[in-house]
Amino acid sequence: MKRKLKIAQIAPLWYPVPPKGYGGTEAVVSKLTEGLIKRGHSVTLFASGDSKTKAKLVSIIKRNLFSLGVPWLYDSYNILNLIEAFSRAKDFDILHTHIDVYDPIFRAKSQVPTIATLHNPFWPKTKTKTGRWHEYKARVLIYNRFSKLPYVAISNSYRKQCPADIKFVKTIYHGVDLSALKFNPNPENYFVWLGRLTPRKGLHLVVKLARELGFRLLIAGKVASPENEKYFQKEIEPYLSKKIQFLGEIQSEKEKSELLGSAKALIYPLLWEEPFGIVMIEAMACGTPVIAFPRGAAPEIIKDRKTGFLAKSLDGIKRAIKDIENISRIQCRQRVEKLFTVEKMAEEYEKIYYQLLKL
């Protein structure tokens, strides 16, 4: 039997671990941390002080950055978090980082083995005159400078899109807690959209379809920036009605399970190459099929015509809506049980740790 490990999980500080609402990376870090503890490992979590975990919690700030009003892309606190974790490197068998951009600089000098999971996309891909373009170029240069460091990708789609010279040792899909997401074989008469309210998530297209076809649509999510607020006010809010309702941000797994599980389908017409899309496996875990454009990781998550539909156009989504009764809800649940559980995710990461440690 292989020995149990002392593992450092280093999370970004934007939201607590786990987040109370939005915060995909922090949610994954939480599930992985708790999953590794269940497997008998000793885990130290470097995260904001308002995080909740069975691991040993080390925090350089009492509250998450967004609650403190720290703007997105202001990374000084996340750098300090990396400094804190790597200053204790000798206390661990392996350090696992989830903070993009700066972690290669620390990992390259570490005497203790490290692994990093890349959660966020490299973008924009087209040259612009904005500072974001220069930040993109700098990020690629940093990763190219430390190209021998090992990384985990969260989807094969992500690996293919990555512009930097990165050594991906494995693709490991995110996992969900099946005990928190209840299977519902008998949905109510509505469709659902859940996520961060941003144009590239395609909510305006779902609203358009709901108005055209007359189906009931429940919307839940977070408006996370002034730009997204403008989008919501222009593209979504004017069309809210008794049939098209905005519920705000979901605050608990129980609420999420009830909302997703009672829906006929999750409609998710992505307009970008999303690296994963946790909401899709959350929906399927509840037995709810997913109708999506075949972009990003959607083709890896959805089994077309078995656990949902990969539609190439709005007309394709219309056809999928009419055919949704042909999808077996139990097959949706079974696909998640096979591929996308916390237990499987933790086991796969454990294998990587042992591989890097040559155990």
Cβ atoms 257, 182 nearer than 8 A: yes
Nearest C-alpha neighbor of 217 from the set 168, 287, 269, 267: 267
Together in a domain, 110 and 258: no
Together in a domain, 87 and 69: yes
Averaged pLDDT, 54-76: 90
pLDDT given for residue 130 in this prediction? 59
87-146: per-residue pLDDT in tens? 999 999 999 999 987 899 999 999 999 999 999 877 655 555 556 676 777 788 888 888
Total number of residues shown for the chain: 359
Return d(Cα 140, Cα 164) in angstroms, integer. 5
pLDDT exceeds 90 at position 207 = yes
pLDDT given for residue 228 in this prediction? 82
Together in a domain, 248 and 276: yes
* Non-local CB neighbours of 311 within 8 Å, separated by 6+ positions: 269, 291, 292, 293, 294, 317, 319, 320
Confidence of residue 36 (pLDDT cuts 50, 70, 90): very high
**Beta pairing partners, 290:** 266, 308
Together in a domain, 133 and 222: no
One-letter amino acid of 125: K
Q: Is the peptide bond before 289 cis (omega within 30 degrees of 0)?
A: no
Sheet containing strand 217-222, edge to edge, reads 244-246, 217-222, 191-196, 266-268, 290-292, 308-310
247-263: per-residue pLDDT in tens? 998 888 899 999 999 99
Q: Is residue 203 part of a domain?
A: yes
Q: Is residue 124 part of a domain?
A: yes
pLDDT given for residue 162 in this prediction? 85
Together in a domain, 351 and 290: no
Measuring CA to CA, how many Å separate 244 from each of 233, 236, 250, 267, 294?
14, 9, 17, 14, 25
Residue 104 sits in a domain whose CATH number is: 3.40.50.2000
pLDDT given for residue 252 in this prediction? 86
Q: Which domain holds residue 207?
A: 191-339
